Structure 1
Amino acid sequence: MSLETVVEDIRNEARERAEEIRAEGETRADEIIAEAESDAEEILAAKEREIESQIEREREQKLSSAKLEAKQKRLEARRDVLQDVRSDVEEEIATLGGDDREELTRTLLDAAAEEFDSGNTVRIYGRADDEELLTDVVTDYDGFEYAGEYDCLGGIVAESEASRVRVNNTFDSILEDVWEDNLQAISSRLFEQ
């Protein structure tokens, strides 16, 4: 064998080895690219699921916030309507006149009179506009006297120092009791669902 033949054999072996290495490198590169593409698809799919989940959470939060805000506005509107109704009732009571006002005032005075011992001096207070009515009505009760103004819609406040009793039979106090006792029924009637 000549030197050229040996050199040529070595070159051929080197070429074959280089070709094997190149083929192995390409195979390994293809495997790495395939793994990277697979990992990228998994990462992309995971991110898409995460983003969809986040979008759903945010949508639910906004929907929940919107429902809560709507409920609050509905409650505020109901409160406003109830306040308007209450104001209308107070206006009706405040402007009640004539025999109806006198009859109610006498009924409240009768109820208050039961709380005091006979012989006690009982002072009666009432709305400034009712002074004439109260001055006239108290003359029918022994020991009762009109004593001045009380800020209210009508009715009376009666008190006696001797028995240390004070009775608040104003239209305001009665309205408050009736309103509280019947608020649920009033609300149900106004806002039937």
Structure 2
Amino acid sequence: MGLEAVVGDIKEKGRKEAAEIQAQTAAEVTSILEEAQEKVAAIKQAAEDDVQREVTRIVNQEVSAANLAVKRETLNAEKDTLARVHASTLARITDQPADFHAQALRYLLPLAAADIGGGTVYCNARDVSIVKEILAENADLSGFSLGNPVEIEGGVVVESADGRMKVDYSYRTFMETVWESGLKDASDILFP
């Protein structure tokens, strides 16, 4: 074999090795690029997932805040309505005819006498004359005297002679008792 044949063999072998190295390099480059693309896709997906979670969290937070604001406004409106109903009811009771108030006082004063043996009866200015009349005509109420008028819608407040005990039979007190016990029922009726 001649020198040229050996050189040709070496060149051929070099070309084959170069081709193999280039093929391996191309395969490695392709593999590295595929891995990089997979990592990029995974990073991109993770970022998209994070963004979607954050968007969902923010939307949920805003919806919750809006629902809370609506509920607060609704409750405030309901509270305002109930306060107006309360005031209106008390005003309507106060505006009843004189015979209504007289009948109420004829009922309330003996109750007070049962609770307190004697003392001072306080009522509003409108009811002074009827309270005087009731005290004068009822012997069971002889231990009571009429005090100065007080700012109440109706009914009486009675204080014991020694000042240690007070019984509040004013319309407002009765109304508050009924109101507290019936508030949930009233709310359910007004705001189904």
TM-score of the pair, normalised by structure 2: 0.83
Percentage of identical aligned residues: 29
> Is 1:176 equivalent to 2:176 in the alignment?
yes
Helix, strand or coil: the match of 1:112? helix
Q: Choose which of 104, 115, 124 in structure 2 pairs with 1:127.
A: 124
Per the TM alignment, residue 99 of structure 1 is displaced from its structure 2 partner at its CA by 0.8
Residue pair 1:139, 1:145 contacting (<8 A) in 2 also: no
Residue type matched to 2:23 in 1?
A
Helix, strand or coil: the match of 2:148? strand
Residue pair 1:127, 1:154 contacting (<8 A) in 2 also: yes
Per the TM alignment, residue 125 of structure 1 is displaced from its structure 2 partner at its CA by 0.9
Residue type matched to 2:84 in 1?
D
Residue pair 2:101, 2:127 contacting (<8 A) in 1 also: no
User: Alpha carbons of 1:183 and 1:162: their partners in 2 closer, same or farther (altered >3 Å)?
Assistant: same
| Gap regions ≥5 residues in structure 2 | none
Q: Which residue of 1 aligns with 2:115?
A: 115
Which segment is superposed worse, 177-186 or 42-51?
A: 42-51
Q: How many residues align?
A: 188
Which segment is superposed worse, 56-65 or 180-189?
A: 56-65
Residue pair 1:153, 1:172 contacting (<8 A) in 2 also: yes
> Is 1:165 equivalent to 2:159 in the alignment?
no
Residue type matched to 2:166 in 1?
R
Which segment is superposed worse, 98-107 or 131-140?
A: 131-140
CA distance in 2, matches of 1:165, 1:139: 23
Per-residue displacement from partner, 1:158-180 (whole Å, max 9, x unpaired)? Answer: 12224843211111111111111
After TM superposition, the structure 1 = structure 2 runs for residues 10-49 of structure 1, keeping only pairs within 5 Å, are 10-49=10-49
